[in-house]
Structure 1
Amino acid sequence: MLGAARVPPADLDVRAIDAKLTRNGEVVAEGRSDAVLGNPATAVAWLAGKVESFGVRLRKGDIVLPGSCTFAVEARAGDEFVADFTGLGLVRLSFE
């Protein structure tokens, strides 16, 4: 996750991050990071191997989205979403 706060990887079990997604103040989805192939790091390792088979390598600084803790939720103009990731903080997103 990108943001101002920095959480050292050693201080967080990436396999057990609870996630709660609200839309306009109502909880619409909940999940955990282990929904991403059991461990988001496993998903990144799989991706690195897969793209390497096409002659592409992941490099330091690349941004990788390993998967989602929850199912996809429809968004409409005017919706405000807040995702709360235990131990990491909140992400806010508004649609115009």
Structure 2
Amino acid sequence: MSEDNSDIADLSFEDALRALEDIVRKLEGGEVPLDSSIVLYERGEKLRQHCQARLDAAQLKIEQIIAGADGQAAGTRPFDSEAGH
């Protein structure tokens, strides 16, 4: 089973998302045998975790522009998702 999932770490976000969407279509189709459904579900969960990790990493890279008193950009600061709440 781990061999089937070893490639996930090397997938881009887009490729992992496409693979996850394909798994969802297969599972929703209802024509996959139970044992295969379990394997597909487990792979889908690993793909979902990979996509979430890629999104989390991208969010950390987002920066906000800090405006100076004259309204011009004075620098940047790391994105803080809690600041707006």
Question: What is the TM-score when the length of structure 1 is the normalising length?
Answer: 0.23
More strand by share: 1
Structure showing greater relative contact order (alpha-carbon pairs closer than 8 Å, 6 or more residues apart): 1
- Larger Rg over CA atoms: 2
Please give the TM-score of this superposition, normalised by the length of structure 2: 0.25
